[in-house]
Amino acid sequence: MRRLLTSVDKELRVLRRDWQGLMVLFVLPALFILIMSLALQGSFQERLSDTIAVPVVDQDQTPASQLLLKELRDNGTVVPKASTLEAAGLERAVAAGDQRFGIVIRQGYGRWLNSDGDSDGGPLVQILAEPAVTAFRRAALETAVARAVQTLRVERLFASSPGFGMPASAAGGQATQLPVAVRVLGAGGEVSMPNAVQQNVPAWLVFAMFFVVIPISTVFIVERQQGSMQRLRLMNVPPGIVLGGKILPYYLVNMAQMVIMLLVGAWLVPMLGGDRLDLGGSPFGLWLIGSGTSLAAVGYALLVSAVAGTTVQATTFAGVTNLVMGAVGGVMVPKAVMSPSVQAFTVLSPMSWGLEGFWDILLRKQGWTAVLPEAGALAAVGLVCLFLASRVFQGKR
Amino acid sequence: MIRISNLTKRYPRALRPALDDISLHVPKGSIFGLLGANGAGKTTLLSLLAGLLEPDAGSVTVDGVDPARNPGIIRSLLGFVPQDLAFYPMLSVWENLAFYAGVQGLHGAEKRDRIEEVIAAVRLEAFGRQGAELLSGGLKRRLNLAIGLLGKPRLLCLDEPTVGIDPHSRQFILERIRAIRDEGVTVIYTSHYMDEVQRLCDSVAIIDEGRILVASGMEELLSGHAGELLRVRLAGGGAGACDAVAAEVAGTRRVGAAMLEVETSDPLAALAQLGREAAAAGQRIAGIEYGRRSLEELYLSLSGKPWEEDNAPASDER
């Protein structure tokens, strides 16, 4: 244990004196979050993908509700699909992030459509959205549904009062009077709409955590090239001490990154006029998902360091793979605005798992148990990488 | 201390063995010089001694222990000082030593005492807090040596420990190595500085292309390999005129543009004859050297090739 602590102590001292490396790890991501959050404040400039597939629970089960689904289908923006779940089940699925959207047509919709008055029982068509869905896409879905309902209502009124009998309110087509409402669902029910900083901070935090590969591989390969690794081997120092000595310091670096980035989002961005990052209600959950992400990042960094022959190889390879993981995982382009076919690939990137885990806490307001799958998967990737790194390292010694 | 018998090692896909049937004996408490061009097999031999490689044939024992079978035991006896500066430039002298001492299991007062001992041994007392990257080349070499001494080795392998430093620092390190030998430590010393090996080592082996050309005590080697050498520098003619003179005096050969060399036990007679032939060829003697062969001259004569790093044969050595 003392030997491991000696190794950890050395690594911390080396890190402390590499202020340029620390700058890359702390200051640059913080600046990035600041700039992106302020620049994208209010809304994301994003495109609407071709169609939105939405599970629908039709509690009304009337010809009018079937007509609404047909209208949506014909419109082309929304592809309604009958959900196998009950309304409450669909709400839970959306709240957990298993479904991005949902539509519930409440009982009474058909009666309202065929009446002349307003709905007196609240929204009859509810659009459910998970917090990670961007405002732009929510608005697009809401507009599509409202337009379909309005069209059907107007047509019905024209049919029942050909020419002159149409009430002014219906003819005016004011969407605000339509019984259509959007609900953004989290663990505790409805949550407030996510803002730019809540989308950006977790994304760039996960991205920054994976960049520990730069200092790890630089020190590791220099140690190998300068003969320190051989010297340690000839001193009977086992690989576990050498590799283990690097895990704890860089885990602490990742944790410091997490704290700093979250504080930037919660305090600095609002001070500069941007949106405030809501930190959710589970610090333990944040620690869990942060730890899983860190283990994956450090394990991956050590594997790259063990395999690469030179620092240039390691930093170039790791830089490019991090960019690819970031792009695929929804860091640069939010997953919600990707087309459905591209979204399917996000699951391949561990950065996407980390992002989902952070969103479970920060956006969906869930507890620590919600991040267990993501944190577990990330930890598993980290352990596999560490195992492979130790095998490669042992072989090269 | 070290016994090597009929040792052979060939790397996969290599055209020739890195070591080919070599046998050596290194007495305890001596400095053993290992000479050879790049690719000669020196590093392979050191790796076999440290248990980093296994031999294809033959045997190696260090204090009766087979390094390949018991690498842990061997490494507890071994101090290794690589040619590269294998420490952390961003750490101070003390921090470097504390790290290497700590990972070897030293702690507390024992660790502190051992660090102070090795710092004193290489005279780095005034530089303990200084960053290693700010040390001069000579002081960096001393730190490299000090790290190798932390584990109180009984066998110390030094790979080019004086490369790239000034004569004063080199002299200091050579003195320290002698002092370490005098404490009973066996030292394996590789260097490209022939004069340094000649002055320092008690015995020496010259390796060329994986074979031992000669292995012997230094004195026996220098005195036993024929005799005295007379060198005469001629003036007044070119290489052609020198060749003409050499052709007239038996056993004489030209080395360089205007230097003749002859091995002789009667230097006066040889000098007189060379003087006569030079005069006959319209040349005169501009300078003479006479004495025992140096180690470098011996290497040249045994290997038949110049001691030039750049001319060293391509190596399969790792």
Report ipTM for this prediction.
0.74
Q: What is the pLDDT of residue A299?
A: 94
B127/A contact by beta carbon, under 8 A:
no
Q: B132 contacts in A (CB within 8 Å)? A: none
C-alpha neighbours within 13 Å on the C-beta side of residue A143: 10
d(CA B252, CA B269): 13
- Give the tens place of pLDDT for each residue, B70-114: 888 888 888 888 888 989 988 999 999 999 999 988 888 999 999
Q: Which residue has the higher pLDDT, B267 or B62?
A: B62
**Residue A348 C-alpha from the chain's centroid:** 14
Q: Do A227 and B84 touch (CB under 8 A)?
A: yes
Helix axis angle, B167-182 to B137-149, nearest 10°: 10
Q: Is it the case that residue B187 has pLDDT exceeding 90?
A: yes
Q: B76 contacts in A (CB within 8 Å)? A: 236
Query: Would you state the structure tokens that stand for residue A279, as one six-digit string?
Result: 């930190």
d(CA A256, CA A250): 10
CB atoms within 10 A of CB B65: 16
Closest CA relative to residue B234, chosen from B262, B194, B201, B206: B262
Q: What is the pLDDT of residue B32?
A: 93
Residue-wise burial string across A165-180, b where 16 or more C-beta atoms lie within 10 A, e elsewhere = ebeeebeeeeeeebbb
Query: Would you state the structure tokens that stand for residue A196, as one six-digit string?
Result: 């730019």
Q: B82 contacts in A (CB within 8 Å)? A: 227, 230-231
Q: Do B104 and A233 touch (CB under 8 A)?
A: no
Residue-wise burial string across B115-127, b where 16 or more C-beta atoms lie within 10 A, e elsewhere = beebbebbebeeb
d(CA B83, CA B158): 8
Q: Do B103 and A3 touch (CB under 8 A)?
A: yes
**Helices (H), ranges, chain A:** 2-16, 19-39, 63-75, 87-95, 109-113, 135-160, 168-172, 196-210, 213-225, 228-234, 239-263, 269-271, 283-307, 311-328, 340-343, 350-362, 372-396
Q: Which residues share a beta bridge with A115?
A: none
Which of A14, A18, A234 shows the shortest C-beta gap to B50?
A234
**Residue A43 C-alpha from the chain's centroid:** 16
d(CA B195, CA B192): 9
Q: Do A230 and B88 touch (CB under 8 A)?
A: no
- Give the tens place of pLDDT for each residue, B133-145: 899 888 999 999 9
| Each residue's pLDDT expressed in tens, for chain A with a length of 397 residues | 888 889 888 888 888 887 777 777 777 777 777 777 776 665 444 444 456 778 889 888 888 888 888 888 887 777 888 888 888 888 888 888 788 888 888 888 888 877 766 666 678 888 888 877 766 777 778 888 888 888 887 777 776 665 544 444 444 444 445 677 777 766 555 555 556 777 788 888 899 899 888 888 888 888 888 888 888 988 888 888 888 888 999 999 999 999 998 998 888 888 887 778 888 888 999 999 999 999 999 999 999 988 888 888 888 888 888 888 888 888 777 776 676 677 778 888 899 899 989 988 888 888 899 899 999 999 999 999 999 998 888 776 6
Domains of chain A: 47-190 (3.40.1710), 195-396 (no CATH)
**Residue of chain A minimizing CA distance to B77:** A235
B103/A contact by beta carbon, under 8 A:
yes
- pTM (global) more than 0.90: no
Q: What is the pLDDT of residue B313?
A: 40
Q: Is it the case that residue B226 has pLDDT exceeding 70?
A: no
Which of A5, A9, A231 shows the shortest C-beta gap to B86?
A231
**Residue A313 C-alpha from the chain's centroid:** 30
Instruction: Write the DSSP assignment of B41-109 as a string of letters.
Output: SHHHHHHHHTTSS--SEEEEEETTB-TTT-HHHHHHHEEEE-SS--S-TTSBHHHHHHHHHHHTT--HH
Collapsed DSSP state (helix, strand, coil) of residue B9: strand
CA-to-CA separations, A50 to A73, A74, A75, A133, A367, in angstroms, rounded: 13, 14, 12, 16, 34
Q: A228 contacts in B (CB within 8 Å)? A: 86-88
Q: Do A236 and B104 touch (CB under 8 A)?
A: yes
Question: For strand B2-9 and strand B203-208, is the pairing parallel, antiparallel, or unpaired?
Answer: unpaired
B87/A contact by beta carbon, under 8 A:
yes
**Residue A55 C-alpha from the chain's centroid:** 21
What secondary structure letter does DSSP report for A47?
-
Distance from the Cα of B146 to chain A's closest Cα (Å) equals 13
What secondary structure letter does DSSP report for A329?
T
- Give the tens place of pLDDT for each residue, B37-50: 777 888 888 888 88
Which of A2, A234, A241 shows the shortest C-beta gap to B107?
A2
Closest CA relative to residue A153, chosen from A103, A114, A127, A189: A114
Q: What is the pLDDT of residue A169?
A: 43
d(CA B318, CA B316): 7
Q: Which residues share a beta bridge with A128?
A: A102, A183
Q: What is the pLDDT of residue B317?
A: 40
Q: What is the pLDDT of residue A337?
A: 67
**Helices (H), ranges, chain B:** 42-49, 71-77, 93-103, 108-121, 137-149, 167-182, 194-200, 218-224, 239-248, 267-280, 295-303
Which of A5, A14, A233 shows the shortest C-beta gap to B88?
A14
Q: Do A10 and B84 touch (CB under 8 A)?
A: no
Q: B107 contacts in A (CB within 8 Å)? A: 2
